[in-house]
Structure 1
Amino acid sequence: MINKKQFIQMKKIHVLFTVILIFLTAISCSKLEEDPASALVSEQYYLNQDQAIAAVTGTYRKLYETGQSLYNSLLQIGVEMATDDYEAGPRARNAHVRALSNLTHDASNDRMEQLWKQSYDAINASNVNIAKISVLSASQIDPTLQQRLINEVKFLRALHYFNLVRWFGPVPLVTSPVESLSPQELYVAKATEDAVYGLIIADLKSASALPNYKYYSESDKGRATAGAAKSLLAKVYLTRGDWANAKLLAKEVIDKEGYALFQDFADVFNIGKKNGVEHIFSAQFKGNSGYQGNSLASRSAPADIPGINGDYADALHSEGGLYKSFAVNDKRLPVTFTTGMVSPTDNKYYALNKPQFSKYYDETVVGNQGQSSKNTPIIRYAEVLLIFAEAENELNGPTLEARNAINAVRRRAGIDEVSVMETKDAFRELVFEERRKELVYEYQRWFDLVRRGATYYVAKLKAAGKTNASARHIHFPTPQRELNLNPNLSQHPDWINR
C-alpha cells in the first residue's frame, strides 16, 4: 500500500499521534485549568505534500497497526465473541474476552475500553489531518491531491463513527482536533445517534468524490476509493432501514465502479490477488517486513499440531450450527474452515476435534502465523450484492433482481440458486444466512444480529446455548474508565445498575 519513503514519513507522524494520545491519557485524570501555550499537535509537521501523504497513511495504520488493534483482532475478541458463531478458544486466557464470550461482560471490561479508546484515537488523527491539510497552500500541495487526502480521512472517520454508534449507541461527536486541555475539548457529552449518523453520511458523501480504485498506483492500493465510500454508505443506509438509498447506492457500485466476484472464492484470501477486483476496502497486512502481520491467522490456527504453533484463541461456537449450515459441496467450506492439517514437522495428518477457522492461514509462514500477510476484508463486492438483494426485498419483495444478486454469490459458492420465493420474510432470512456463510470471520456477525433488534439477537444466541443473552447486549456499555474521566458522560440506559 505504501512505499519506503511514505513509510518513513508515516512513522514520524505515528510517533506524533502516539505522543498526543499518551499525553491526553496521562492528564485526563487530573484537573488542569491552564491552557498551555504549546499545542498538542505539531505545527512544524504539515509543511509539504509528502508529509501530508505520510500523515494520512499513518491514520490508515490505526485500523490494524498492532496485534490487538481494531481490525487486527480487537473486533473479534471485543465484539464477535458475543455472537452465536464464535467463542473464546482454549488459549483465550484473558478473563475479559471470556466474559464477552459468555455474555457476562460489564462496563469494566478492558476490551470495551480499547474499542472506545482506539476508535477515538483514530478519529482525532482524522480530525488533525482534515484541519492541517485543509490550510496548506497550492505551493505546498497539489490541490487535487489535497482534496483526495481530506476525503480519504473523512472515509476513515466515518468508518470509526459507524462502528462506535453501532456498538455504544449515543457517543461523543468530536469533529475538531484535540489541541488543548480545556474542559470543553476533553469533556464532551454524548450526541444523539441521529447526529452521529448525520456526520457519517456527510463524510461518506464527500468521500464518494474519491477516484475509482483503478486510478491508484500499485503502491497506493488499499486506500479509500469512491467505491469504498459508496459501498459503506449503502451499508449505513441498510443499517438505518433506509432501503431505497441502500438499494440506490449498492446498484451504483454494481453498475459503475467496476468490481466483480473472483471466480474462485479462495482467491478472496489469496495473497497474490490482494486488493483485487472484489476487494473494495481491506485491512492491509504484510508479515516479516516491519509492517504488521494478521493476528487472526495465529489466533485461529491449531495449537496442538507439531510445527503449526497456533494460538487457538478464537474458536467456532459449535452449538450455533454455523458449520453444519453449509451444504457439503459449498466451495466456501474448505476455505473458511479446516478439520485437520499435515504437520510440517513430522508430515503426519492430524484431525481436529472440531472445525477451526482458516481463512487467514498463510502457507508461506507455517509455524509463525502471526506474520500472515493475508488481508482482512472490511467490505467486498459480495457484500454489496447481498446489500442490494436485502434492500430490494424490503422494498419490493423477492424480485428477480433480488434473486439475481444473491444467486451471483451462491453460484460462485457452487450451491443451488434461489428460484421463485413466496414471501419477503423467507427471503430476508435467506439473505441473512447467506451473509453469515459468505462473511465468516470478517467482523460481520454481531452487526448483522443486532441490527435486527433485541428480540432477534437474544433468540439466536439462546438457541445457540448462550443463555446469558439479554436485550441489553445489542449495545455495549460505555466503558467505566470513560465515565470516571468525563463528568459529562452517562451510561447507556440499558446498562445502568447492571
Structure 2
Amino acid sequence: MDFGIKKMKKSIYKLLMLSVLVATSCQKDPLDIMPDGRLTLEQIFADEMMTAEYVNTIYDNINPYGTAYDYFTLLAGFSDEAHDNDFPQDMGRAPSRWYNGELRPNWNPLDIQFSTGSSNPETNGNYYRKNWAGIRQTNVFLENISGTPFANPQVKARLIAEVKVLRAFFYLELIKMYGGMPVVDRPFGGDYQFESLPRQSFQECVAFIKQNCDEAILEPYFPYRIVAEPERGRFTKAVAHAIRSQALLFAASPLWNETNNQTLWTEAAEASKNSLDALLANNYALHPEYEAYFDSRTDISANPADKETIFEIKPYRAHEFSHLMFRMHAIPTLGGDKAGASPSQELVDAYDMANGEPAILGYYDDDHLYPIINTASGYDEANPYEGRDPRFYATVWYNNAYYGEINGQPYYIQSYLGGADGISNISQRTGNGYYLRKFRDPAQLDPNTGTSRFKKYRLGELYLNYAEAANEAYGPTEEVYTAINAIRSRVGMPGLPSGLSKEEMRERIRRERRVELAFEEHRFWDVRRWKILSSTDKLTTGIEWTKTGSGFTGKRIVTGRRKSWTDNHLIFPIPLSELTLMPRWEQNPGWE
C-alpha cells in the first residue's frame, strides 16, 4: 500500500511512516478489494466506509492483556501479588526468566514476541512497535479526515474523538513502560530526518494525552457508553476519562515527580474528580456484587446491569479470557492444564479483617516468614482465613475453603501437603498453598462455559485514583474518605477510621488498591510509580499446611526469589534494535 512516503529501513521509521492497514477475514472488507497495494490514502479518505474501516484497523494494535502473557499467564505473576507456578518447573517460560532477572535491552521476558520476532496477535508483545504503529495510524487518520465526506457529520465527529482517545491510549501504554517519548501529532514527510527526533519528558507526553482526552470529552457526539452489540470493543468518552485519570496520576507519582510538585497532584485530583462526577452523572456506578462482577462480561445496553465497566477486552479468535482462566489458572482436581498464577502470601496478608482492621502490619524479617500481627485486629495465626475482607474470599482459594458441589458432593480445597490440590513441584499444582478464584465462577466446570472477560478500565479504579491524588494534594479530607469508603462499602467493609494522618491514609489507600484491583494489572505498575519495587519484589511466600488429625498446622515458606527488583527495573530498557536507529537518544537508566 503506497502512501507516497519513502520506505525507510525498519523499526520506528516504518512505524511512523508506513501504513499497516490490516485486512480482516471478512469478505466484505473494503480493504480486500485491492490486495496489490494500489489503494492510496486519497482513495481511503475519499470514502466514508473505508475511512471508518481504517479506524477499525487501528484497534488491531491493542494488546489482548489478561491471560495473554507467555505462556497464557497473568501479569500478576510478574509482581508480588502472585507466584507463577511455571517457576521453577519450566525455566524457559517468561515468569521464570523474569524471576531470573533476564530483562535486557535485547531480551524482554514480558515481550517474547519482540525478542523472538513473533507476531502472534493472541499474545501480548511488540509493545514498542505496536504502540508506535497505533500512534502513526491515528496521526494519518487525523491528518486526512477533514476532507472526507460523511452523510452524517455526527459520525465523523465521533470518529475524530474516538481516534484522539486511541492516540492517548497508545501513548500512555508506551510511556508507562519506556518513559518519555517524542510527542508526534502528524505523519512525517519522506524527507524527515529521524535521527534528529528528540525524546520528550514523561510530563510533556502526559500533557499531550490530556489534551487528546480533553478534546474528545468535549465532543457532544462522542458517546459515554456503547449501546449496540456490533460496536462492542470501541472506545467511548468514559475511556477518555479513565485514560486521563490514570495518566495524570502516574505523572504526579514519585517515579515521574521526583520533586513532589504538589501542582501535579492537584491536577490529578481535579481531573479524577471531574471524571468521577461525569461518569456518575452518565449512569456509571459500582457493581453491587464484587465477586459476580468478575465472573461475567459486560451487557451492551443503554441501561446495562453492569454499570461499572468502562472498557473490556474482546477475545482474540477462539481464546476467550474465561476459557484460558479455566485451563491455565486451575485447581488440578477440577480441570485445566496448570496452576498458573497463585495469589501470594503477601497479597493475602494485605486483606483487612472484616472489622476493618489490618491483620498484618509488615514483617520482622526480610523473608516475610515472621509477620507483624496487628493484635487489635482479632487475627488468629492458626486460623488466618477466618473473618477477612469479603474480597479475600472472592479472590483466593485457600486450604480447606469450600469450593461448592462437584458431582453432587461438597468439595473443599485440599492444598495441604499430600492433598489432592497440595503443594508439589509440578506446574499443575500450587507452589504456595493458594489458587486464584477471581474471574472464575465456581459453578463453571467446563472451560467453554465461562463468561468473564478482562476489564481494562472500570469505575472502581477512578475512585482509587481520586482518593490517592486528593490525599497527596490536600491531605485526608472528607472527600478522600468518601471516595475510599465507597469502594469498601460496596463489599460491606467498615469505613476507614477517622483522624488518619496523610501518611497513614497513603498507606491505607495503597493497601486498598492492592486488594480491590488484585490481578487487574495495576500492582505491577503501582509499585514502580511509587518507587517501592526494591521493597516488594524480591520474593513471594506462601503457607505449607500439614494435616494433623481433624485440623491443620501451617508454616510460612519462601516460594520464589527474584532478581527483577533493582531500580533499573522501574523503567524498561528501550529495545536495542530500536535505540540504534536513534543516535541522539540515551538508553533508560541502568541499561546503558
1:191-270 alignment, distance < 5 Å: 191-210=200-219, 211-214=222-225, 216-241=227-252, 242-258=264-280, 259-270=284-295
Q: Per the alignment, do residues 287 and 415 of structure 1 end up closer, same or farther by CA in structure 2, a change over 3 Å counting?
A: farther
Which residue of structure 1 lines up, in the alignment, with residue 143 of structure 2? 131
Structure 1: segments with no counterpart, 5+ residues: 1-15
Contact in 1 for aligned 2:297/2:451 (Cα 8 Å): no
- Alignment TM-score, normalising by the size of structure 2: 0.67
| Alignment pair present for 1:278 and 2:308 | yes
Which residue of structure 2 lines up, in the alignment, with residue 159 of structure 1? 169
Offset at residue 267 of structure 1 (A): 3.6
1:10-409 alignment, distance < 5 Å: 27=10, 43-64=42-63, 69-70=64-65, 73-74=68-69, 80-90=76-86, 94-110=92-108, 111-112=110-111, 113=114, 114-137=126-149, 140-177=150-187, 184=193, 188-210=197-219, 211-214=222-225, 216-241=227-252, 242-258=264-280, 259-271=284-296, 273-274=298-299, 276-285=306-315, 293=321, 297-298=325-326, 300-302=328-330, 304-305=332-333, 308-318=335-345, 321-326=346-351, 327=353, 328-339=387-398, 349=411, 351=414, 352-353=421-422, 354-361=433-440, 366-368=445-447, 373-409=451-487
**Partner Cα separation in structure 2 for residue 296 and residue 442 of structure 1:** 15
Q: Per the alignment, do residues 325 and 28 of structure 1 end up closer, same or farther by CA in structure 2, a change over 3 Å counting?
A: closer
Q: Deviations over 1:20-63 (max 9, x none)?
A: 9xx989855999xxx99x89965433443333333323323432
Contact in 2 for aligned 1:86/1:101 (Cα 8 Å): no
**Partner Cα separation in structure 2 for residue 191 and residue 100 of structure 1:** 29
Larger radius of gyration: 2
Q: Deviations over 1:271-290 (max 9, x none)?
A: 254463111222233875xx
Contact in 1 for aligned 2:286/2:308 (Cα 8 Å): yes
Q: Deviations over 1:440-478 (max 9, x none)?
A: 11110122111112xx22122247554652111111111
Structure 2: segments with no counterpart, 5+ residues: 20-36, 115-125, 253-263, 301-305, 354-386, 415-420, 423-432, 541-560
Which residue of structure 2 lines up, in the alignment, with residue 4 of structure 1? none
Q: Per the alignment, do residues 463 and 56 of structure 1 end up closer, same or farther by CA in structure 2, a change over 3 Å counting?
A: same
Residue 390 of structure 2 aligns to a residue in which SS?
coil
- Alignment TM-score, normalising by the size of structure 1: 0.78
Q: Per the alignment, do residues 486 and 344 of structure 1 end up closer, same or farther by CA in structure 2, a change over 3 Å counting?
A: farther
Computed over aligned residues only, the root mean square deviation of the Cα atoms, in angstroms, reads 3.9
Larger displacement relative to structure 2 (419-428 or 121-130): 121-130
**Partner Cα separation in structure 2 for residue 92 and residue 255 of structure 1:** 48
Q: Deviations over 1:192-214 (max 9, x none)?
A: 32332232121111121243425
Q: Deviations over 1:139-172 (max 9, x none)?
A: x353222121122121122122112212111334
Offset at residue 366 of structure 1 (A): 4.7
**Percent identity of equivalent pairs:** 22
**Partner Cα separation in structure 2 for residue 294 and residue 74 of structure 1:** 15
**Partner Cα separation in structure 2 for residue 29 and residue 118 of structure 1:** 10
Q: Per the alignment, do residues 272 and 132 of structure 1 end up closer, same or farther by CA in structure 2, a change over 3 Å counting?
A: same
Aligned length: 458
The residue type equivalent to 2:396 in the other structure is: F
Which residue of structure 2 lines up, in the alignment, with residue 5 of structure 1? none
Which residue of structure 2 lines up, in the alignment, with residue 433 of structure 1? 511
Larger displacement relative to structure 2 (211-220 or 398-407): 211-220
Q: Per the alignment, do residues 28 and 434 of structure 1 end up closer, same or farther by CA in structure 2, a change over 3 Å counting?
A: closer
Contact in 2 for aligned 1:309/1:367 (Cα 8 Å): no
The residue type equivalent to 2:478 in the other structure is: L
Contact in 2 for aligned 1:88/1:101 (Cα 8 Å): no
